[in-house]
Structure 1
Amino acid sequence: MIKHIVFFKLKDASLENVETTATVLRGLDGKVEQLRSLEIGVDVIKSPRSYDIALVATFDSLEDLEGYQVHPEHKKVIEYMNQVRESSVAVDYEF
């Protein structure tokens, strides 16, 4: 199995914008068949080193992760995230 974790720092980290963006990310659930699980979390500490939103997704295989990356619903979310994010970091690992 593959765990896919992404942290997002938003250009505008207002509560409204963070919640809107988290809702957009949660919208992937049930729309991308390769996703086994999806968890979206909003940072509660808000320290200078914090990112605003975390995405944690689980896939059965690396091939499923690759399919997710090119899925039309994921591509729509990427377009949105490219407009609102300042930066992001990711890690993918087998477990």
Structure 2
Amino acid sequence: MKASKLLYKPVGLTLGAVSGLIASALFKQAWKTLGHDEDAPDATDEERTWGEVVLAAALQGAIFATVKAAVDRGGATATRRLTGTWPG
């Protein structure tokens, strides 16, 4: 394994945790903006409809994937600027 890849591992893990926190906050805000309850439904929440559960899951997945991609790409770009090599 390349040294740059090994050195990037802890950075990547930290960025992953940060992106999860950012995505979670964005999802909560988006869910409230759509006019729903404070908390998104769980798949096993008996009092929520199928549509509500599936909408929440789709929205959450889209937000998490987008934020993760943006943070990962930003981290890799910053690493290349600092070290001259791409971490991947």
- TM-score normalised per structure 1: 0.34
Task: Choose 1 or 2 for highest CA Rg.
Answer: 2
Bigger share in strand: 1
Give the number of the structure with larger relative contact order, counting CA–CA contacts within 8 Å between residues 6 or more apart. 1
Bigger share in helix: 2
